Amino acid sequence: MSTDKKSYKDKKVMSIGIISKITGLSERKIRYYEERKLIFPERTERGTRKYSFSDVEILMEIANQIEDGVQTYEIKKEMSKKQKTQTKDEINKMIRGQLNAHFHLRK
């Protein structure tokens, strides 16, 4: 996806300090979630982590689940399932769009 076409929610522009203030999570905890492959910040040339509003939503979801007693490996497993489902849905949507365009169909 081109940076220009990304939703504002997906643009990685906030530092870990800002994310910590927004979420109430410590920087250490945010880095831990990254280590556990639950969150994926971008890195600048100097190695600074950059996060998006979508990342804030994910972090809050993770924090709520942890508070409810869910383990990080369970969260990761569930996130993986959601991602696979979303990928399948995106592929199906793309195929429908291509078929509609090819056969001049309307929704």
Confidence check: pLDDT of 1 > 50: no
What's the confidence (pLDDT) of residue 60?
Answer: 96
Query: What would the pLDDT profile of 8-40 be if each residue is shown by its tens digit?
Result: 888 999 999 999 999 999 999 999 999 999 999
Q: Cα separations (Å) of 10 from 5, 18, 26, 44, 74?
A: 10, 16, 22, 16, 24
Average pLDDT over residues 51-56: 95
pTM greater than 0.85? no
Q: How far is residue 101's CA from residue 83's CA, in Å, rounded to a whole number?
A: 27
